[in-house]
Amino acid sequence: MTVAKTGISLAETVIALFLLSGAVLTTARLFHVAAQTERRSRVLEQAISMGETVSARVRSWARLDANFRSDWSTWSAPITDPDFPGLSAQVSATASGRTLASPSSRLEAPYLTRARLLPGVVVPFRVEVRWGVGVSDRVSLLSYCGAPARPLPSTPSIEIQGLPGSPLSPGQVVPLHARVLDANNQEICGLTFQWSLLPLGGNGQLREDLESRDFRQISIQHGSYLPTGQSAVLPGQLGVLAQARYRGQVLRSSPVNSVPPQQLELAP
């Protein structure tokens, strides 16, 4: 009986040692994985911090209109920072910008080619931070940079182009184009215009159905229709006014409470 009890005790000891060894190895493996995870978390934290720092530099640089409208080749070289040792960043941007629908793609989609679009108002850019050669040794931050305010001349106004040199015949339609130039004589895109007509003896109507919804271009027809459905044609002059708003500032083609110099001659 004594020998049997000793044998069972030895077997239990061997099993216990085996289980203890497994537990020790598992615990060591868990500590190793935890240490690796902690190291990767620290690297990721540093990489994200560097990506945000570089993104802030890019946005600060792009506040200058000339930089925003450049080819962005300034950021083509890899970027290093002594505050982030072992990391390098690469910036890639779509310098041509991205066209947005105003107020949204869903609301503008039904208008098809007449949709109100804002070309090049944002530039998408990506900051990729690397700390190794592996695919998993990198992190990317995607962001958008909005167009900065364009400098305006001391007396900004709207230019109306396309005024004909000869009188319009009854029923004739003429297209007019409005634009705003900045202080560098570059046209400002992305504006929405409002048009109005001032009868100066003659009459006419706006043909908004022929134009895009930003009304950068509008068509004016000599003559109008009465509520009865009959056409009415009056010769004389017709004043044309255009108005737009740029970053909170109202721009006009002529001063308020004045006869617009942009006029159409209407033939009888």
Residue 89 has a pLDDT of 96
Domains and CATH numbers, the chain: 2-146 (no CATH), 159-266 (2.60.40)
Cβ-based neighbour number of residue 220 at 10 Å: 21
Q: How far apart are CA 208 and CA 151, in angstroms?
A: 30
Residue 81 predicted with pLDDT over 70: yes
Tens-digit pLDDT profile for residues 83-122? 999 999 999 999 999 999 988 999 999 988 888 888 888 9
Length, in residues, of the chain: 268
With 0.75 as the threshold, say if the pTM is over it.
no
Q: Which of 57, 49, 205 is nearest to 141 (CA)?
A: 49
